[in-house]
Amino acid sequence: MSITVEQSEAKPSGPAAAVVLASGIGAFVLGLFTTLNEASSGINDFLQFSDDVGPLSGKTILATAAFFVAWAVFAVLWRGRDVAWRPVLTATVVLLALGFLGTFPTFFEAFAD
């Protein structure tokens, strides 16, 4: 009695790389809008999608939209392709770090109106 195991073909890395990079872009957009919100009262007013929530509503909605748009664009561009992981991960880490930095009060309060 022998058991055979079929080898499956490796799936392309493009779709996975697309979502990883999109997460970095979404985090960066959140940090950017957090900082811009402090720097300009006009942007603060623009980001206030809901009076109950304040400008946080605009920041999170736009960051989420940036994530989904970036994911869709890169998923289409990289569909069926193998993507080099090193540049994708490097860009993602840099974008995540910048986004994280932009959400620190010590950083964004330096740009306050």
- Which ranges of the chain would DSSP assign to H, the alpha helix? 14-39, 41-47, 55-77, 85-102, 105-108
Q: Residue 92 is encoded by which pair of tokens? A: 């993602």
pTM for the model stands at 0.86
Q: Are 78 and 5 in contact (CB under 8 A)?
A: no
pLDDT in tens, 30-85: 999 999 999 998 998 999 998 899 999 999 999 999 999 999 999 999 999 999 99
Domain that holds residue 93: 14-111
Please provide the size of the chain in residues: 113
Number of compact structural domains in the chain = 1
pLDDT in tens, 49-61: 988 999 999 999 9
Q: Residue 106 is encoded by which pair of tokens? A: 């010590």
Domain presence at residue 7: no
Q: What is the mean pLDDT of the chain?
A: 91
Domain presence at residue 85: yes
Domain presence at residue 8: no
Residues 8, 59: Cα–Cα separation, whole Å: 43
Phi and psi at residue 5, to the nearest 5°: -115, 125
